[in-house]
Chains A and B, each alone.
Chain A
Amino acid sequence: MRNLLIIFKRELLSYFATPLAYIFIVIFLVVNGFLTFDFGGFYARGQADLSPFFAFHPFLYLFMVPAIAMTMWADERKTGTIELLLTLPINLRDAILGKYLAAWALIGIALCLTFPIWITANYLGDPDNGVIFAAYVGSWFMAGAYLAIGACLSACTKNPVIAFILTVTICVIFVLLGYPFLLGMLTGWVPQIIIDAISSMGFLTHFDSISKGVFDVRDFLFFGVFIAAWLFASAVVIELKKAS
């Protein structure tokens, strides 16, 4: 636990030691604001909620999160610091979790800094702050799922750009799995149970209900298990690939 925290701190500080964290946060806020107010019609809807804000998150994360995740292990392998890190007296688990949680915390910080949107909604109307809070946590969990995919694929290669492209591709698949349009194409010729299974793997399925204020522990559980599975896969990949 102690080592996990030390690694977490080092990783988080290293994001802020380079312009990466600042650029990430600024772009995240600007794009979020633009999507919410222009595309989402935040004012025009005349409703005091943050649905237009959260609705774009699955698509925003598609590019923002892989950008954070791509260097996580690829850089360690490229510069050889992985050899330094893994010959220190630490568990691989601490290294994986420390690095993962640092990146997740960065996304969390960026997400928290969108609070002016929440203030705006509260200033203009009387939104259900419980729903908003759940949606924030849900959004953060979903970002965590993207990040876990990115962490694993970053461990597969020494090249961050390859890691980025692979991560975006896999994330797109998981977003589309829950997309009504895709599910509609399957209806009628694929057994319903398979459609349900596919749809239940999709990010949108779970995030939609969370962001609408349907607080179901199973949705959070889905993201939790999803993250754990991909992080476990990272451990396997790191073990297999560290020799090369």
Chain B
Amino acid sequence: MIEINNLTKNFDQFTAIDDLTFTVKEGEVLGFLGPNGAGKSTTMKLITGFLSASHGSISIDGFDISKNPIEAKSLMGYLPEGAPSYGDMTTLEFLNFVAQIRGYTGEEILLRVQRVLDEVELNSVSQQTIETLSKGFKRRVGLAQAIMHDPKVLILDEPTDGLDPNQKHHVRELIKNLARDKIVIISTHILEEVTAVCSRAIIIAQGRIVADGTPAELESRSKYHQAVSVRLSKNYDLAADLTGIAEVGDVEKDSEDDMVFRILASGSNSIFSQVSEIAQAKHWPVTEFHVSRGQLEDVFRTVTQQTQGQGAQQ
């Protein structure tokens, strides 16, 4: 379990992290979201013990990162932002080095290194120096070193940044397979990734938590939650038919497509059946009709911009 209490980090006058408190339990895959400069990477650097906190505490399975750094670091695997590694070493040399530092000796080194080479599919480039590898391979080398010791806590700073869609999918599968009894914290600004792999998401802005919940819970905070999306074949005034129904809110026209409308729900209950009855009764010229899930992007924008607005007012 990771416990973070009143974590604050100041750089000179600037407060990068402002009184964060949260815990992460075994089996959780936590997506760490936020606009650029919100403090995602800083938080990860604090958790992994690279930076030390100005106030507050971080404990990894009971080991305080500032008091027992070696024990705490042994439990963690970390992929720093940009997946740095020693460019003049070959993949194999580099992974051997990490295996040794992680405390393995003799035969065990070979086994461990071979296992991660297989797991992230690096066998084809094991003899190449890392600086000659493509971005995708470099990222995988970074992942390989992070999972070398089968860590209880895996902290990945933008693990899929710069990967092509196939590689992204592969990395996500890897994370999902790892996660059962582990803690994974991923920072990302790709929101689809959160829905794809995370069991929980925290959105931070200006160093503070502005939203915390499962991706589904966060999505339900979107105004598009339970909205019905309709594509028409010709112009028709939907709003006129829907007035007077309490559960139905506004009707919005899609900004990109004139023929697509979104009928918003005023509460959190499903309005699909009601709207579909009306559509049949009034013979709407419908070609597509579906319930849209809440949009995480919409929630993200709302909560992060609110804080920015507050910040500006202060």
Contacts and interface: CB of A to CB of B under 8 A. Distances in A.
A243 B76 contact: no
Nearest to A81: B84
Interface in B54-95: 69-71, 73-74, 76, 78, 80-82, 84-89, 93
A242 B51 contact: yes
B231 to A, nearest CB: 47
Nearest to A6: B100
Interface in B89-141: 89, 93, 97-98, 100-103, 129
B80 A87 contact: yes
Given A18-B88, A79-B84, A80-B80, A89 B51 contact: no
B50 A88 contact: no
A38 interface: no
Given A88-B73, A89-B74, A243-B11, A6 B84 contact: no
Nearest to A80: B84
A89 B85 contact: no
B168 interface: no
A3 interface: yes
A7 B103 CA distance: 13
A229 interface: no
Q: Contact residue range for chain B?
A: 20 to 34
A13 to B, nearest CB: 8
B88 A83 contact: no
Contacts of B98: 88
B115 to A, nearest CB: 19
Interface string B163-178: 0000000000000000
Interface string A54-89: 000000000000000000000000011101101111
Given A88-B73, A89-B70, A91-B70, A83 B84 contact: yes
User: Which 6 pairs across A and B sit closest by C-beta, in order of nearness?
Assistant: A80-B84, A89-B73, A83-B80, A89-B74, A87-B48, A81-B84
Given A84-B145, A89-B101, A243-B11, 16 more contacts: A6-B97, A10-B86, A10-B89, A13-B93, A79-B84, A80-B82, A81-B86, A83-B50, A83-B84, A87-B76, A89-B71, A89-B74, A89-B102, A89-B103, A90-B70, A242-B50
Interface of B: 11, 45, 48-51, 69-71, 73-74, 76, 78, 80-82, 84-89, 93, 97-98, 100-103, 129, 145
